[in-house]
Amino acid sequence: MYLFVMFFILLIERTKDLYMLVELVLMRRGSIVVRGYKHLDPYGAIQPPIYLAALFRMEGEAQRSDRGLDLKYSREDNPTLRPFEEVVAKLESGVDALAFNSGMAAISAVFMARLAGGDVVYVPMEAYGATLRLLDSLGKFGVKVVRGFPDTEPFIEGIKAARPRLVFFETISNPTLRVLDLPEVVKAAKDLGAEVVVDNTFATPLLITPLEHGADLVVHSVTKYLAGHNDVVGGVVVAKSREQVEELWLWRAMLGGIMQPWEAYLAFRGVKTLVVRFERQCRSAMAIAEYLADHSKVSEVLYPGLPTSPYYHVARRLFGDKFGAVVSFRVKGGRDAVLKFFKSLRLITPGPSLGGVESIATYPIASAASPIPDEDKRRLGITEDLVRLSVGLEDPEDLIEDLDQALRST
């Protein structure tokens, strides 16, 4: 009788677990960001707790985490990270995710795990400056970097010529907001046996999920839209196979790049509002792009949502009716006019980064794009008149008024 009761209890618990898993699979993204995790607190807490433990009980062998990996030391894993990792993995249609203490820590682990001496990496000449600098630094280990122009046809031709081990690119380039035809690029790389890693930070999984188009890994700077409040530095890698997760988990542990519990808690809290934040930010960005396109002090607006953009049709096909929340534009008058523009802003904050609730204006040539060689910057149009605007959650009319008065001061 006892065995029957225990079997019945276990069956109920197993059924509840399976039911929960089915619910998670069937959830839409608006529900995933809020409830797309399996954690059940033994005390009934609605929010998963923060585990500030440096180490965990170990009776002979190490305990196993929910994904079957060691849970003995917080450099290797920590339960606080798991709800955030589960949510991001589901958003990106991956099997699991690993959270890191910065976007660069995440990218570093990917390169260390997947590259060896003699390998060729193919990247666009326009990418986040720290990523390009890291790749160049890997040359001392025998890794060769080949850069291609970030338009679909020349980029694919470059893949065919380079025959790389790994292709790395961003879904929306920084800061000129080019959009490569992701499925075509992935196909070209796969035809040659290359792995594909996509930085989906600018687009977020709300615009596109690269794994569903054949990419092998997706990385994000959690600092940007996923956490979304300009108060967290973090990164995440989403994998499509269990083997990838285990390999990257080992590299995260060896390099010591794991996200810390407090940052994981904030990132988990932040991602819950991703859908409502990003949809509003995209709408505001479109309104601002349309306004700037007719402004007398603006010579060009770079935004894939404008029908005049050379990337509009591919962005429309890949992203649908939203085109991201970053708008880049050129100020007439060059560097002097741009510096006057920054000094005149009242509501928008001049500074680095993007993706937060506060709108931030950035001077790319002096920040993220500075490691790009000067010749490449000229070819890409990253010039002294270029401004990148990350649109936040302020009223778009207030943002437009601030942009207008700052532009008219130039």
Q: Is residue 50 part of a domain?
A: no
What pLDDT digit, counting tens, does each position of 76-97 carry? 999 999 999 999 999 999 999 9
Same domain as 91, residue 9: no
**Residue 170 to residues 81, 93, 131, 197, 219, Cα–Cα distance (Å):** 25, 18, 11, 9, 9
Same domain as 160, residue 128: yes
* Cβ pair 314, 152 in contact under 8 A: yes
What pLDDT digit, counting tens, does each position of 373-390 carry? 999 999 999 999 999 999
Quote the pLDDT of residue 14: 47
Q: Using CA of residue 181, residue 184, residue 189, residue 195, what is the dihedral sign?
A: positive
What pLDDT digit, counting tens, does each position of 9-66 carry? 445 444 444 444 445 557 898 899 888 988 767 788 888 999 999 988 877 777 787 7
CA 123 to chain centre: 17
Q: How many folded domains does the chain comprise?
A: 3
Kindly tell me if the per-residue pLDDT of 167 is higher than 80: yes
Catalytic machinery residues: 75, 128, 199, 224
Q: What contacts 24+ positions apart, CB below 8 Å, involve 367-370?
A: 367/129, 368/128, 368/129, 368/130, 368/174, 368/175, 369/126, 369/129, 369/174, 369/175, 370/129
Q: Is residue 51 part of a domain?
A: no
The Cα 91–Cα 36 span in angstroms is 9
Rg (CA), the chain: 22
Percent of the chain whose predicted confidence (pLDDT) is above 70: 94
User: Quick one: which H or E segment has residue 340?
Assistant: helix 334-344
Amino acid identity at 33 = V
Quote the pLDDT of residue 1: 55
Quote the pLDDT of residue 103: 98
Kindly tell me if the per-residue pLDDT of 196 is higher than 80: yes
Same domain as 349, residue 234: no
Quote the pLDDT of residue 22: 46
Q: Is residue 46 part of a domain?
A: no
**What average pLDDT does the structure give for the chain?**
92
**Which structural domain, as residue segments, surrounds residue 15?**
2-35
Which of these, 342, 344, 302, 300, lies nearest to 324 by C-alpha position? Answer: 302
HSE-CB of 304 using CA atoms within 13 angstroms: 31
Same domain as 190, residue 156: yes
* Cβ pair 355, 224 in contact under 8 A: yes
Which carries the bigger pLDDT value, residue 67 or residue 286? 286
Which of these, 24, 7, 82, 25, lies nearest to 51 by C-alpha position? Answer: 82
Read off the CATH number of the domain in which 184 is found: 3.40.640.10
Kindly tell me if the per-residue pLDDT of 205 is higher than 80: yes
pLDDT grade for 302, boundaries at 50, 70 and 90: very high
Q: Is residue 47 part of a domain?
A: no
